Amino acid sequence: MDAYMNDSSDELEVAGARPGSVMSKLGSKKGSAAVVPANSNGASAAEARAGTILSLMLESGDYSDITVFAGPDRVPFKLHRAVICQTSDFFKAACKHSFKEGNTKEIYLREIDPSTFRWIADWQYGKKDKYNETWTSGREELGIFKAADFLQIKRLRSEILESLTKSCREKLRELKRPRAYPTYPERKGVTAPARPPDIDAVADEVWANFAKICDISHQEDLDALISIAAEILPHRGASANEIIEGLASGVYGSTFVAAVVGAQNVILHVYKMGDDGALEKPETWRFSDLKAKQIR
């Protein structure tokens, strides 16, 4: 993959990168990016190399043309407009000269925790390491989702919801909770077994964080929210009284209730009753199949 200077502008272009992508225009001034050597492995190798270069640019702060300050202590991040504006509509608007930030080259994000913004910056620069090596029961996902929503990073919002669905599926199963469905223990005379309080505490924390995510979600997120709720409900359950009280107190919102109702329908169509009376979930199922049945 070769790099060359566009004669009609001060932008450095990279051969093999997608037109208009971050790596097709690495900098806004001459000499503002390293030359990438040719690679015969195709576009995927080129993109991998591009991600490495972007990571080095983030770590070094070289050729930075904007500083973002995160948190009340104003922790600085030396970034590059050509990178952060690619994915964030917030940054794209803020970096225009018609806004103060576009002239001062400084943006203040007081409400975003520095560690959360660091993860987002890593993501924007192609470093997509796992953020939840130690699972926080949805707390970390909530923080990143809120920040991504504020910064208007649509793709990251979607990825966080997908990640939370997967982590709920894997982590809650690891708790090895008995799978008798708690909301309807009268089925086949089965009574839900007693559960260790620490497991219940984890499920309650996931539930609370999920409810907060629903508060800042949009209608287009509903399918993903239903999938998350469908992973939590068999381990936690929700009574009608709890939902009504939560709505009255403001703990639960309309999007949360819609996700729970949709998830209940998912469970009714996907889960099956085992010989021992416990609900069993198939190893694989497709949400699109359920949508075709208009279960929502």
Termini Cα distance of the chain: 48
Does pTM surpass 0.75?
A: no
Please state the φ and ψ torsions of residue 36, each to the nearest 5 degrees: -95, 125
Q: In Å, how far are 16, 18, 69, 186 from 42, measured between CA atoms?
A: 8, 12, 37, 59
CB 125 within 8 A of CB 55: yes
pLDDT at 260: 93
Which ranges in 31-126 belong to alpha helices (H)? 43-60, 81-87, 89-94, 100-104, 114-124
- Write down the domain spans for the chain: 1-60, 64-129, 139-292
- The mean pLDDT value of the chain amounts to 74
pLDDT tier for residue 98 given thresholds of 50, 70 and 90:
low
- The second-level CATH assignment, the architecture, of 64-129 is 2-Layer Sandwich (3.30)
Residue 159 has pLDDT above 90, yes or no: yes
Which ranges in the chain belong to alpha helices (H)? 43-60, 81-87, 89-94, 100-104, 114-124, 139-150, 154-174, 197-215, 222-236, 240-249, 254-270, 287-292
- Report pLDDT digits (tens) over 24-41: 433 333 333 333 344 444
